[in-house]
Homo-oligomer: A and B are copies of this chain.
Amino acid sequence: IDQQAVEKAAQRLDMLTKPQGSLGVLEDIVKQLAGITGNPIPRLGKKCVVIMAGDHGVVEEGVSAFPQEVTPQMVMNFLNGGAAINVLSRHAGADIVCCDIGVASDVKHPSLIIKKVRYGTANMAKGPAMSREEATRAIEVGIEVAEDKIKGGVNILATGEMGIGNTTPSSAILTVFGCPVEKVVGRGTGIDDKGLALKIKTIIKAIEVNDPDPSDPIDVLSKVGGLEIAGLAGVILAAAAHRIPIVIDGFISSAAALVASKIEPRSVQYMIASHVSEEPGHKMMLEMMRLYPMLHMKMRLGEGTGAALAFHIIDAATHIQSEMATFESAGVSRSSSR
């Protein structure tokens, strides 16, 4: 983070025709982007949402409202342009890339990046979701996909995911990192009360069976995580390493961000939170990373949809810094109290 650029950005913001600080989060974003890019008047160019898709063995416990076949079906929907994330990314001027990092079946499409680490995770209620090597490899896949886009000229990334059942490992990760399981677990894509109780029981069981070590984020990922979650942690770490801002979507993306923050705490400085989802654990995750969600959309879809909406706001912030008049240029009097 370039502190000098942050200060220069702040000085310019205070010269613009508005009371100091009155644009709130827009000003915070400008300063953060200045620090990341080294430019006090930051500009965004190519945007890309990276969608990691993977399946979860734990669905055999009955924790999801949708059948597992929906994961590859939705991957095809992304590739054919019909999903919510396609609509919202298009409208925000962002590209999409979709990577099969662990779908339980084979998906074929010319635009799909196939870097399958394994065919879905194992059922974490019975043993580790994957091996330590697989978790490490999945993080590397995320780094590879992100670096490929960054080399292609993308200068802001967002996280997206698809994986039936993936609120369960995300909730398990948050629980291991210290939040009470009853407060963490939500209804995902739409389970009922009975399903909710089962989901809580399953997470408690998975943590008992695997005993993940909260001081070892790779251990947590491999035992109660997911392939797409590990992949997104890699995307986030790559963005931070290359000094690229990374927009964090909802609950699953934030589980990946939490893991990334445990691997490299400084990665948080590159994260921009987008929305706070309906999953109760999401707010807690964001608070643990001291990230502030600007959008309160009551959304619970994932895919990167909240992040795609946030692109508009981030764009707006950069326009404020580059296009607004100063007090001097506009001939406007300043506040008497400052």
Contact = CB atoms under 8 A, between A and B. Distances in A.
A74 B22 CA distance: 15
Interface residues of A, number: 69
A216 interface: no
B74 A17 contact: yes
Nearest to A83: B17
Given A293-B296, A325-B77, A330-B82, A18 B301 contact: yes
B87 A323 contact: yes
Given A82-B325, A83-B325, A65 B190 contact: no
A76 B327 CA distance: 12
A134 interface: no
Contact of A19 (B20, B23, B189): B189
A319 interface: yes
Interface string A312-337: 11011001100111000111111111
Contacts of A323: 86-87, 90
A190 to B, nearest CB: 5
Contact of A65 (B74, B298, B299, B335): B335
Interface string A270-309: 0000000010000000000000111111111100010001
A197 interface: no
A119 interface: no
B19 A337 contact: no
A133 interface: no
Contacts of A92: 316
A-side binding surface: helix, strand, loop or mixed? loop
Interface string A53-84: 00000000000011101100110110011111
Given A25-B298, A295-B294, A316-B309, A336 B82 contact: no
Contacts of A20: 190
Contacts of A295: 294-296, 313
Contacts of A16: 84
Nearest to A325: B82
- From A18, A76, A77, A320, residue with most partner B Cβ within 10 Å: A18
A76 B331 contact: yes
Contacts of A80: 325, 330
Contacts of A87: 316, 319-320, 323-324
B25 A331 contact: no
A178 interface: no
A192 interface: yes
Nearest to A24: B298
Contacts of A25: 296-299
A313 B312 CA distance: 8
Given A19-B301, A73-B333, 11 more contacts: A24-B300, A25-B296, A25-B299, A26-B297, A67-B333, A67-B336, A73-B330, A87-B316, A87-B324, A92-B316, A312-B313
4 A-B pairs with the lowest CB-CB distances in the bound complex, closest first: A82-B325, A24-B298, A312-B312, A19-B189
17 contacts: A18-B301, A19-B65, A20-B190, A22-B301, A25-B299, A26-B299, A65-B335, A67-B333, A67-B336, A73-B330, A77-B330, A82-B330, A87-B319, A87-B320, A88-B319, A90-B319, A294-B297
